[in-house]
A and B are shown apart, each in its own frame.
Chain A
C-alpha cells in the first residue's frame, strides 16, 4: 500500500535515526534528514522496487535566520508517477557550514535547480559540475534571497534618492 504511513515506516526502518520530524501538511508526507543521508535517501526512493519515486519535482531553499544552527533548509520535492505519490524532504544546514552533496548525478534536472538555490541563498552543492550564478549577474557579491537583504539593492549607486521620493 503506497500511502504516507507505510512509506514513512519503511523509511524509518531503512534510515533509523537519520530521518525525523515527520509531518503531513495538507496531505503531503514531509520529513527531514541529514545531509549525509539525502543522496542515499533519494537513491533509495528511486530504486525501490515498489515505490518508483523517480521524478525530482523541485529543489529549493529557505532561510530561517532565527533558528541558530539550522538557518538554511534545502527542500526536495519528489514524485512517483506510477503511484501518484508526492513527498517533501528537508535538509537543515547551519550557516557556518553551508555544504550539501549534489543530486545532479542522480537527476539531471537537479543541475539548474541547485544553481538557482546557490544563486539565491549561497548554499554550496558539493560535486556540482558547474556551480555558478544562473539568474543574477555574475558580479553580484551577495545572496539576495537571504532575509537580511532588503528588496531593493542597497549597493546601487546610480539611483538618485531625490528623484525617487526618498
Chain B
C-alpha cells in the first residue's frame, strides 16, 4: 500500500498527522440511503485507495422518539412501538414487552400461551436470520440463495397474519397472553413450514457453506475477539460467533424456554463467516424448538385470568356487568399499574433486547428505556473494518445484522 508520507515520518505518525501529510485520501460517504446498508444510517469512510483508514458513523436518521412517546401511552399501546424497533422479527419485541409488563403487574401466563409465544418468537428468529444471511449472500453478489430462501419468509408472514392480522409489524399478543388461539389453519401452516423449510435451508447452505468464493470473502473478515466483543456490549449471534455462549433463553429462561431442548451454536474467530454459520445453525435450532413446542402444545386457556388487564371476551361484555366495566376501564385506559421498576430481557434476533420500565402508578410508564442490541454493538464497527478494504467493510456491516429501526428507536 503506497501512501505519500515523507520517509522520515513513516514510522511513528498518529492518524491525524498521517492525514495531514497524505493528500490522496478519499472520503466516501456510505450515505444514509445506500443499497448496501440495511437501513438508514451513515458511514463516512476515509480511505486510502481501497483500504479504510477511519470510519465515522452517523445514526439517528430514523429516530422516532419511542421512549418519549411511550410516556404518554397506556401499556397496551406501546406494543406498536416495540414492533418497529427490530422490524424483521417484531413478535420477539412484542412478546418481550408483554412479558415486562406482566412481570410488573405480577400476572401468571398459562402454559399454552407461553408455548404459542415461543413458537411465534422462534418463527421470528428464523425470519430475521433469513434476512441477514440472504442479504449477506446478495452483498457478495450471489442473488440465488436470497431468492429461494426469501419465499419461506412469505410462509412465515402468512402464519403471522393468521395469528394477529399483520405481516411485518405484528402487534402480536396482549398483556396477559395471546389475543386468539392458534387456529387449525395456523397449525397446518406451521406444520407445512416445518416440512418445506428444511430442504430450502439445506439448499441455501449448499450454495454458501463450502463455496470457495464466499469463504474467501468472509473468512477472517471483520473479526473481533471475545474480550473486545464483551467490552463492546455484544450479545446475540455476533457474540456467539466470537465464542461466548451467552444466550438469554438459557441464562434467564422466560416463557417456558426451559422446557425445550436446543443447542447454542458458537463460533471461533468472530469473523463474518462465523456469524453466518452461527445464524444458519440457529435457524436449525429454532426449527427444533418449534417442533417440540407444537408437539407438546398443552391444552388450556390462551390468556391469563386477569380481567383487569386482559380484555374480557365480547360475549361476556354484552352479558355481564363486571366484564362491561373491565372492558370500559381497559379501553379507556383507566387501569393503573403498580409502582415499581423492572428490567426484563429477551433474546432478540440480534441479542439481548432489554426493557427497563419505571412505573409511578399511572396508566403509562414514567420512564421506559429499550436496551437495543444493535445500537450497542454497532459502535464496534470502526474497529472491525479499519484496515480492511471497502468490500470487506460492506460484508462486515451485512453480517452484523444492523437493523436501522433498532439502532435508533
Contacts and interface: CB of A to CB of B under 8 A. Distances in A.
Interface stretch (A8-16, A31-39, A103-111): A103-111
Nearest to B56: A130
A29 B407 CA distance: 28
Nearest to A120: B67
Interface in B224-256: 228, 230-233, 244, 246, 251-252
A108 B231 contact: yes
A62 B230 CA distance: 26
Given A26-B103, A55-B230, A62 B343 contact: no
A77 B354 contact: yes
Interface stretch (A81-89, A91-99, A156-164): A81-89
Given A25-B340, A77-B356, A151 B408 contact: no
Interface in B70-98: 71-72
Interface residues of A, number: 34
A2 interface: no
Contacts of A63: 367
A77 B343 contact: yes
B59 A81 contact: no
A60 B371 CA distance: 9
A151 B60 contact: no
Q: Looking at chain B, what size class is its interface with the partner chain?
A: 35 or more
B354 A58 contact: yes
Given A55-B233, A136-B60, A81 B246 contact: yes
Interface of B: 59-60, 63, 65, 67-69, 71-72, 103-104, 228, 230-233, 244, 246, 251-252, 340-343, 345, 352, 354, 356, 358, 366-367, 369, 371, 375-380, 408
B369 A60 contact: yes
B341 A113 contact: no
A27 to B, nearest CB: 10
Given A55-B233, A56-B233, A113-B233, 7 more contacts: A28-B343, A30-B341, A57-B233, A134-B59, A135-B60, A135-B63, A136-B63
Given A57-B352, A58-B371, A60-B356, A109 B60 contact: no
Interface string A117-152: 000100000000000011111000000110000010
A62 B380 contact: no
Contact of A26 (B340, B367, B369, B375): B340
A41 interface: no
Interface string A43-76: 0000000000011111010110000000000010
Contact of B371 (A25, A28, A77): A77
Among B244, B251, B371, B376, max chain A CB count under 10 A is at B376
Contacts of B341: 25-26, 30
A107 B233 contact: yes
A60 B345 CA distance: 15
A84 B352 CA distance: 14
